[in-house]
Structure 1
Amino acid sequence: MSGTGDLFGPAICPGRRLNGRVTATLQAGQGGGTYDFVTAAVSDLPVTYEGIPGDRHYGLTRLSGAREPWYPRGTEMRNDRQISLLAVEELAEIAAGLDIPSVKAEWLGGNIVVEGLPQFSMIPPRTRLMFAGGVVIGIEGQNAPCKYAGQMVADAHPGRPEIALDFVKVAKRLRGLVGWVERPGVITPGEEVVARIPEHWAYAPAG
């Protein structure tokens, strides 16, 4: 990790700005697939404070699941997973790891695909993605790969059932990010996006 620090404290990484571009916008509920998990391309993506209207993750709140073991399953909580974001470069890396020609964002339930933001899945929480059209997405954190998404990839490759489980390993820390809408508006393919990355650090106290 780059950054400053001392022998008795964590390395501090300064804040910075990175420039990228939107390559695709997608939405569930467009005839994309089973249980509205699979998304389909749309020419523009309106977002509100609740997320993407009609999308399976739409809403100011959501119910807790396996990712929140500190709550009884089904507890209502703030929806910090309204938007799923993926990177062109990381989709290609996953495909190479699975030995297939490509991995499509829609198979993974993606909503926004970007390019030009290095190590996209490693961008830290509290980052703001600021889109040229005015939308701002607050980043909650990484989107961990799951067998269900892996099964969608496997279904697209008959004769390769092992992909469903292999995906979980290959896509670790490459599965993109999830976030919530801080400023609503419309996102369109081709527009520029700026990642405003805050000062951050690795918290690893001794003991």
Structure 2
Amino acid sequence: MRKPASKLKGTVGGLYRTEGKGFVTTSVETLELGFEGIAGDEHGGPTRRTGGREPWYPRGTEIRNERQLSILSAAELGEVARDLDIPELLPEWIGANLVLDGIPRLSHLPPRTLLFFESGVTLKVDGDNGPCRLSGRSIAAHHPGREDIEFSFVRAAKHKRGLVAWVEKPGRLSQGEAFEARLPEQWIYDPA
């Protein structure tokens, strides 16, 4: 059954960016976003190289970067931590750029959802972010003796790993800022 277009409200619970190489991020108070995403960030740029997520292209093929930003939910991170039987799962460990609060089942927002921030920034959701072993390995590094997390994270975080998005309208995001998610008419997302 089709659901009409709808709106949800939330706030920015955390902002993060990479420092140097690698995908692990560091907490910041503000993020400057351009059409390339976060300038100098590991996932920034108007294009990117393909990997295992795009088996229809040879690895390393240059394509549009629809994965400029990784968006997570603190509630979903808590669920994944419980499923992994660990005390916490910090967003930095798995390369978060934004943690958003107030949206139930954030990872289930459909593609084409627009996130309008009070600063004027607009992000366009490309879709859910499939969990990978690289993230699992990063989490395991914070829990000595739990090498199993590298593989179990992929199962535990399925449909709870957040979203990937790209910058539709640039600007500066700030910690605690309000936003509105505008969902297109769709048949996928159910907040219940």
CA distance, structure 2, for counterparts of residue 101 and residue 14 of structure 1: 39
Matched positions, count: 188
Give the aligned residue type for 1:28.
T
The amino acid across from 2:130 in the alignment is A
Q: Which residue identity lines up with residue 8 of structure 2 in the other structure?
A: L
Q: Partner amino acid for 1:23? A: G
Map 1:123-142; keep pairs closer than 5 Å. Answer: 123-142=109-128
Task: Look at both structures and tell me which one has the larger radius of gyration over its CA atoms.
Answer: 1
SS in structure 1 of the partner of residue 38 of structure 2: coil
Q: Could you tell me which residue of structure 2 aligns to residue 121 of structure 1?
A: 107
Higher strand share: 2
User: What whole-Å deviation, never above 9, does each CA across 1:54-96 have from its counterpart, x for those lacking one?
Assistant: 1011111111121112222211111100000000110111111
Could you say which residue in structure 2 is the equivalent of 1:58?
44
Alignment partner, residue 28 of structure 1: 18
Instruction: For residue 150 of structure 1, report the CA deviation from its aligned partner.
Output: 0.4
Post-superposition offset of 1:36 = 2.1
3-state SS in 1 of match to 2:14: strand
C-alpha separation in 1, matches of 2:111 and 2:100: 17
- CA deviation after TM superposition for structure 1 residue 161, in Å: 1.2
Structure 1 stretches (4+) deviating beyond 3 angstroms? none
Select which of 86, 102, 107 maps to 1:100: 86
% identity of equivalent residues: 48
Which runs of 5 or more residues in structure 1 are unaligned? 1-10, 203-207
Matched residue SS, 2:43: coil
Could you say what secondary structure the match of 1:181 adopts? strand
1:88 corresponds, among 70, 74, 98, to 74
TM-score under structure 1 length normalisation? 0.88
| Whole-angstrom CA distance in 2 between matches of 1:78 and 1:160 | 36
Q: Which amino acid aligns with 1:20?
A: G
TM-score, with length taken from structure 2? 0.95
Deviation at 1:48, TM superposition (A): 0.2
Partner of 2:35: 49
Match of residue 191 from structure 1: 177
Give unmatched runs, 5+ long, in structure 2: none
Superposed displacement of residue 26, structure 1: 0.2
